[in-house]
Amino acid sequence: MSVIFWLILGALVAVGFAYVVKNWKLTWYEWVLAILGVLLILWSVQNYSASQLEHEFRAATYFLVMLGVPGLILAAIGLVLPAMRAKKG
């Protein structure tokens, strides 16, 4: 993918990170889960696009499923836990 895509994606991740830091109170394990989830998602997007460019469609799909789905789950858990804690308290 192009450099512009990664610049825009990096800017979006930075804005999201700044929003979470400013408005949410996360415990250390929620930070770990959210950061690992985002890293897995970014890694799977990068490898998916690189495999697509190399015409390795099956490998691209496998990588997206094997690392993208766990990344989404980790990121969701890392961001849902504080919402549940705020609703509870």
Q: pLDDT tens-digit profile of 27-85? A: 899 999 989 999 999 999 989 988 999 999 999 999 999 999 999 999 999 889 988 88
Q: Are 74 and 33 in contact (CB under 8 A)?
A: yes
Please tell me the distance from the alpha carbon of residue 18 to that of residue 65, in angstroms, as a whole number: 28
**Model confidence, pTM:** 0.84
CA 34 to CA 81: how far, in whole Å?
Answer: 10
Angle at 15 between CA 51 and CA 39, to 5 degrees: 35
Q: Tell me, what's the pLDDT at 89? A: 67
Number of continuous H segments (helices) and E segments (strands) in the chain:
4, 0
Q: Which amino acid is at 59?
A: A
